Amino acid sequence: MGISKDRIKFNVGGRLFETTSTTLANAGRDSFFGALFDDEWNLSPPEKDIFVDRNPDCFAVLLDLLRTGDLNVPTNIPERLLHREASFYGLLDHVRTAKWGPFDGNRLRLGDSVKGIAPGDGTAIRAGPDGGCCVAHGSVVHVLDWMLEEHCPINLDYQRVNDVGWIDSDNIVLSACERLGRGDGGMGLFSSSSGDLRYKFQVSHENQVKSYTAGALSFCPDYKIFASCKGRSNEYGIGVWDQITGKQTDFFYESPGWSLGDADKLQWLNGKNCLLVATLFPRKDNCYISLLDFRDKNMVWSWSDIGSPMAIDEKRVRDAIAMEDSNSICVVNEFEDLGFIDLRMYGGSVRWSSRSRLMKSKMPDEPCYPKLALHEGQLFSSMNDSISVFCGPDWVLTSRLRRSYGGSICDFSIGGDRLFALHSEENVFDVWETPPPPII
């Protein structure tokens, strides 16, 4: 595009600034500055002195961001004020990009610790696609945007929230327990900004709508929602709904001797076009992991520790995650020992790797069960008050994230180029970010 080199003057709140249209073009067409120019980035109309009745200190910071790509905020400017001014100029995305860089588990630093969101035992924390998050505890879900400003909370009136998932930055799905005698429970789609219920997801069994408890959630690219379900009749299994319409499209019923409706974790596998379903100890006395193919209602792979020789509790699987690139499932026990199950072998054994024996750390009074996450080729495992990062084909421990307070980590989530860790003993969650790349 042709860019005019003419200098432009701004009078912002009584202070004069001078810049060029080349600099302002970095703001993009959808910004306040983009609206001042024609298609050739010439001022329209061609005035050279523009008055803006806004905060001049923030304008200076944002103008410097457009010039250099670097964000330097003086200590006398509150972050909330800068975000407000950036929103006016249409530069929030620029500020967000400058605050932290592309996610890298080995370069994470603590960006913030947020208190007062989840009093008591938190249920779950979920990272949003735009760098925000939501925190569930009891019957309440608190929603925060990427600036960590809280929106209207979602209150389910004493129905315990079991899981939370983001469809996009505007919509959140909640799964909840059924209330006996009320017919409530199940799942609902809520607005992330207002907290309003948009619609409920119903389960039909033998052409009748049934009340049910929804548990673990998962999503797939073709706009389907999966949830583990428990009903009063025979509605034990995995339900499937259309994200757009909210209508039930399928149901995989639990077979005798197996466990699906109590699943702790669901994970959609794009390459295999299957759903991982994991029911883990201590929810059940035994662990059940399976891959479900909904195209022909078939369980194409399964593993269980039923009948496995276990002299001590340390071999109990506490979490599981599928790793499609290596055709395996990674599992973890309460000592953060990683184990791997070969997906090419039906019902194979777990190959354990005792990396955590080198930690020599003291177990807390109330330890939390470890959780696993896989993100862009890096494996993450929470253990007590820290999160370990494993990399490479042999999953070597490369770094560990730890805070000095807050107690054990009961849940963590990665998304929007951030990692969120929810602590169990203190009313706090941590936000880990990758520093932005250096400006050359």
Domains of the chain, CATH where assigned: 7-99 (3.30.710.10), 103-121+316-439 (2.130.10.10)
Whole-prediction pTM: 0.88
In this predicted structure, what is the pLDDT of residue 198? Answer: 94
Task: State mean pLDDT over 221-232.
Answer: 92
CA–CA separation, 402 and 389 (whole Å): 11
Give the chain's mean pLDDT: 87
**pLDDT, tens digit (0-9, with 9 covering 90-100), for 280-322:** 987 788 899 999 999 999 999 999 988 766 544 456 889 999 9
**Tens of pLDDT, residues 344-357:** 888 778 888 865 44
Q: What is the mean pLDDT of residues 401-420?
A: 90
Q: What pLDDT is stored for residue 285 in this prediction?
A: 80
Decide the pairing of beta strands 171-176 and 161-168: antiparallel
Tell whether the model's pLDDT for residue 49 goes beyond 80: no
Percent of the chain beyond pLDDT 90? 61
Question: Is the distance from CB of 133 to CB of 436 less than 8 angstroms?
Answer: no
The token pair at 134 is 């939501």
State the average pLDDT over residues 368-397: 92
Whether 213 shows a pLDDT value over 80: the answer reads: yes
Position 404 scores a pLDDT of 66
Q: How far apart are CA 234 and CA 217, in angstroms?
A: 20
Q: Could you report the per-residue pLDDT of 386-410, keeping only the tens digit for each?
A: 999 999 988 999 999 998 677 889 9
